[in-house]
Structure 1
C-alpha cells in the first residue's frame, strides 16, 4: 500500500505535487515509520523560494509524529528536531503550544539548558505567537540549574514580548529563589506583584500558595518571626487567610530552632481558627520535641492527639521509636513498634534499623530477630550497619552460629561484610581464646577482599601475646 503511494507520488507531474498532496504523502510515510523518506519530501518544501512551502497542516503532521518519540523509524536527535522546528519557523509555521511545551520540557530534563533557551529565543526572533506554558517549563529548568540570573532575564523578555505572566510564573520564580536561600529577593518579588499590576494594567495578585512559599523559605533560614509578620500582611493587604500549609511551615520553623512552646501556641491558634491539624503538623511537633530532649512530652502530646482522633503515621512512630532507642528506653520503643504495626502503619526500614541496633545492644536477640523478620516481610533488607549490629549482638550472647548465619545471609544478599563485621568476630574469638577460629575468620576476611584494619591487627597481637604467655607458664 505504502509502496504504491511512493510510486504514485514519484510519477505525479511536478505541478500536481502541491502542498496539500505533499502533506498527505508525508503523513502516509510517517505512519509507516519512513521518517527518512518523509523528511526528504519535507526538505524540498523547506528550500528557499519553494513553490510548495509547508503550511500549518504540514507542521501539525510532522511535529505530532515527532512528539511520539517511540514511533518506529524516528531516530532523530534533539539537534535534528530543533533544526526542523526552526526550519518550519522560517516559513511562518510554528508548533502548537502543547507540542512546544513538551519539547522544551524534554530538553530541560536532558540537562542541556542552553538548547531550550536558544529555541525559545530563536522563535521569539521569528515572531512566533508564543504563549506562557513553554516559558514556565524553561523557568523551571533554569531554576533546577540554579540560574537565577537567566530566570530574571527571561521574565523581562516575556514582558517585552507581550507574553503574559501570571501567578504561576511568579510562583516558579519565588519558589526557586527560596530554594537557593535568596529569601530577601523572593520577598521583594512578592511585594512588587501589585506594582506590576498597576504598570501594565494586568492583575496579578499573590495568592496563599505564593505567601506560603515565601513563609517556608523564611522558616528554612531561621526567620520565622518574619514569616509570622507575613500572615498579618496576607490578611490586611490581600484579604487572604492562612491555611494548614502556612501553619505547618511556621511550626516547623520554630521547632527547628528549639522554640517548641511557640510551635505549640501556633498549633492551638490554628485550631481556634478552625484549621484542623494534620499528620504533618503532628509529626513536626513530635520531631521538634524529640530533637530537643522532650521525648516524654512528645509521647504525651501524641497520645493526647490520638485521643482527639488524629492518628500518627509511620514517620511519627519512627521519630518516637528512634528517640526512645537513642536514650536506651527499649521497652517503650518496643511498645510503640507493636502499636504501629497494630494500627496498620507501613513499616519504614529506618525504624527497624534503629530498633534492631538497640535490642542487640541490650542483648535482646530474640526480639531483634523478630523485628528483622518483620523488616523482611515488608520487602526490605537490613543495611550493613544493621547486619553488623546483629553480628555483634549474637557474638556477645555467645550465639556464634547465629552470627555466622547473618554473615552468610549478607553474602547471599550480595552485601559484602565490611571490616566492622569481621573485626567483631575476630575480637570475640581472641578474647575467648579461640585463636584458631580467629585466624580462620581473618583469612576469610582477606579472601573477601576486606582490608584488615588497626583493630584487626590489634586483636591478632593480643592473640599472640596470650599464646606466648600460655607457652611460658
Structure 2
C-alpha cells in the first residue's frame, strides 16, 4: 500500500485485504490508507476509512488520530476534527490521548479561518477552551501554542489578553517569546493606536536580536504617522528600509499625507524624491504617489 503512488490503487488493496479471511487491518494499514487519500484530497473515501477506525474501540494511535485531525482541518471539516479530538480524549488507551501536536494542529486550523474579527472572536472561545484543557491535562504549552493564543487574541481584538499571555510566557510556562510573538503584538497594538506600547515592544524586540517583520514595521510607521508623530514615523521608515523590509504603497502614502497635513508640502516632495533616488519606488509608483500629492495638495505643491 505504501508503495502505491495512485491513492485509488492503495484503496483497492486496502479493501481487498479487508476481505481476506485470516487478515485484520491494524493501525499502520489504516494510517497509510488515510494518509494517501487525505493527501489526494479524496476526503469522502478517507471519511469511510476513518469510520472503520472509529467503529473499533481499541483501534488507533496518537499519530493516526493526529493525521485524521490534520486532514479534516485541511478539508475545512472543523466539527469532524473536534469530534476526533473528543474521541482521543475519551479513549481508554493512554497512547491515543491528545498531545501537544494535536492541540497545535487544531490551533493552526482555527486561526486560519480569515481576517474577520467577529469570526476570530467566535473561534477564540474554542481556542481558549482547548488551551485550558491542554494545561489542565498537564501538557506543557510550547512556543507555537503560546503564539497561537497571542495571535488569536490579537485577531479577535483582545490585545490586553495577548499581552497577558506574553508576560506569562517566561514566568508561568518557561517559554521565551520569539520574533513571531513580538510581531503579532506590535501589529495588534498599532491597530489600536497604542503607539507608545508598540515602540517599546519594538525596541525590546530589537534588543533581543530580532528584526521586526515588514508587517510590523508597516503597522508601526502608519500608526505613528496617523497619531501625528511624523518624525518618529519617518525614522522607523528609514530603519525599516535599512533592515531590508519592504514598505507598501499605503505606508509611503500615509507618511507623505501626514507630512503635507502638517503644512510641510515641500518636505513631502523632497521625501518622495528621496524614495525615487534610492530606488525604493519605481517610476510607476513614483507617479502614482506624485499624482496623489498633486490631487490632494496641488495648489500648495505648485506654489512650492
1:297 corresponds to which of 126, 147, 157: 126
In structure 2, C-alpha distance between the alignment counterparts of 1:269 and 1:278, rounded to whole Å: 13
Structure 1 residues 377 and 216, CA gap change in structure 2 (3 angstroms): farther
Q: 1:296 to 1:218 in 2, by over 3 A?
A: same
The match for 2:105 is: 284
Q: Contact between 1:215 and 1:230, CA under 8 Å: does it hold in 2?
A: no
The residue aligned with 1:462 is 296
1:294 is paired with a residue of what secondary structure?
helix
Task: Specify whether residues 414 and 228 from structure 1 end up closer, same or farther in structure 2 by C-alpha distance, changes over 3 A only.
Answer: closer
Q: Deviations over 1:105-147 (max 9, x none)?
A: xxxxxxxxxxxxxxxxxxxxxxxxxxxxxxxxxxxxxxxxxxx
Which residue in the other structure is 2:50 paired with? 228
Which of the numbers 20, 29, 37 marks the counterpart of 1:218? 37
Conserved 8 A contact 2:143-2:177 = yes
Residue in structure 2 matching 1:365, options 195, 199, 204: 195
Paired residues for 1:180-191 under 5 Å = 182-191=6-15
Distance apart, 1:462 and its partner CA: 1.4
1:398 aligns with 2:216: no
Q: Are the structure 2 counterparts of residues 300 and 374 from structure 1 closer, same or farther at C-alpha, using a change threshold of 3 Å?
A: farther
- The CA distance in 2 between the partners of 1:309 and 1:288, in whole Å, is 22
**1:441 aligned partner:** 271
Instruction: Go from structure 1 to structure 2 and tell me whether the alpha carbon gap of 1:311 and 1:412 turns closer, same or farther (over 3 Å shift).
Output: same
Query: What are the within-5 Å matches in structure 2 for residues 345-364 of structure 1?
Result: 345-364=175-194
Q: Secondary structure at the match of 1:309?
A: coil
Partner of 1:22: none
Q: Distance in 2 between matches of 1:388 and 1:417?
A: 6
Contact 2:89-2:98 at 8 Å conserved across structures? yes
Distance 1:325 1:458 in 2: 32
Secondary structure at the aligned position of 2:59 is classed as coil
CA contact (8 A) 2:142 2:175 kept: yes
Please, which runs of 5 or more residues in structure 2 have no aligned partner? Answer: 114-118
What is the distance in 1 between the residues matched to 2:11 and 2:230? 62
Q: What is residue 272 of structure 1 aligned with on the other side? A: 90
Alignment check: 8 A CA contact 1:347 1:378 kept: no
The residue aligned with 2:136 is: 307
SS of the aligned residue for 2:133 comes to helix
Q: Which position in structure 2 is the counterpart of 1:382?
A: 212
Instruction: Decide whether the 8 Å contact of 1:325 with 1:333 is kept in 2.
Output: yes
Contact 2:124–2:156 (CA<8 Å) still a contact in 1?
no
Structure 1 distance, partners of 2:293, 2:9, is: 59
Please name the residue that 2:27 is paired with: 208
Q: Distance in 2 between matches of 1:399 and 1:374?
A: 20
Is the 2:26–2:59 contact (alpha carbons within 8 Å) kept by the matching residues of 1? Answer: no
Q: Give, in whole Å, the separation in 1 of the partners of 2:38 and 2:150.
A: 27
Would the aligned equivalents of 1:251 and 1:284 in 2 still touch at CA under 8 Å?
Answer: yes
Tell me the equivalent position of 1:263. Answer: 81
The answer on whether the counterparts of 1:283 and 1:316 sit within 8 Å (CA) in structure 2 is yes
Higher radius of gyration, 1 or 2: 1
1:194 and 1:288, CA in 2 relative to 1: closer, same or farther beyond 3 A?
Answer: closer
Q: 1:295·1:324 contact (CA, 8 Å) conserved in 2?
A: yes
Q: Distance in 2 between matches of 1:365 and 1:461?
A: 29
Q: Deviations over 1:308-358 (max 9, x none)?
A: 212322222233322332232222222223233432335443443332122
Alignment root-mean-square deviation, CA: 3.4
Determine the structure 1 residue equivalent to 2:151: 322
Query: Per the alignment, do residues 409 and 205 of structure 1 end up closer, same or farther by CA in structure 2, a change over 3 Å counting?
Result: farther
Q: TM-score, normalised by structure 1?
A: 0.52
Alignment size in residue pairs: 285
TM-score (norm 2): 0.77
Tell me, yes or no, if the aligned pair for 2:222 and 2:255 is still in contact at 8 Å: yes
Higher relative contact order (CA 8 A, sep 6+): 2
Q: 1:408 aligns with which of 238, 242, 245?
A: 238
Q: Matches of 1:460 and 1:384 in 2, distance apart?
A: 28
